[in-house]
């Protein structure tokens, strides 16, 4: 799901490095999940996020100002399940507003912003 390898073909096709990066999105690695609630969870810093430490009950939060179709990838390389929260008032899939979506250890999820809301659709890896 992470798009880092797509930069080379785009640049080989003539796109400038910054343009290719803008299309592919940013990557943050070595992230540590924090907090046990929506209000204390780690704010995701990039489009592609690699969480390497997940203490029991910790989580991350999606951005509060998504545009329809925005995509965020969260890879959980930690030892525990990771809670992914929407911004206050938002929802992920059919979970109640402000509820956490669980991304198990060694799983990856893609979150796609829905039109006109703080709501997201989540796709979870096998």
CATH of the domain at 103: 2.60.120.640
**CB environment 73-89: b (16+ within 10 A), e (fewer):** bbbbbbeebbbbbbbee
Residue 14: per-residue pLDDT: 79
Residue 1: per-residue pLDDT: 41
Assigned domain for 19 exists: no
Long-range pairs for 8-11 at CB < 8 Å and ≥24 separation? none
Residue 5: per-residue pLDDT: 55
Assigned domain for 14 exists: no
Look up tokens 């070595």; give the residue. Answer: 30
Assigned domain for 100 exists: yes
Residue 4: per-residue pLDDT: 47
Domain count for the chain = 1
Q: Which domain holds residue 42?
A: 26-124
Assigned domain for 13 exists: no
Residue 54 has pLDDT above 60, yes or no: yes
Assigned domain for 10 exists: no
Report residue 7's pLDDT band, with 50, 70 and 90 as the boundaries: low
Residue 17: per-residue pLDDT: 74
């Amino acid at each position: 799901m992470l798009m880092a390898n797509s930069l080379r073909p785009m640049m080989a096709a003539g796109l400038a490095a910054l343009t290719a990066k803008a299309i592919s999105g940013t990557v943050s690695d070595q992230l540590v999940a924090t907090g046990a609630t929506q209000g204390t969870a780690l704010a995701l810093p990039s489009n592609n996020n690699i969480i390497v430490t997940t203490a029991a009950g910790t989580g991350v939060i999606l951005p509060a100002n998504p545009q329809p179709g925005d995509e965020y990838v969260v890879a959980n390389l930690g030892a525990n399940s990771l809670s992914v929260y929407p911004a206050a008032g938002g929802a992920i899939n059919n979970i109640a507003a402000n509820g956490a979506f669980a991304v198990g250890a060694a799983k990856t999820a893609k979150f796609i912003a829905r039109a006109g809301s703080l709501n997201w659709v989540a796709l979870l890896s096998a």
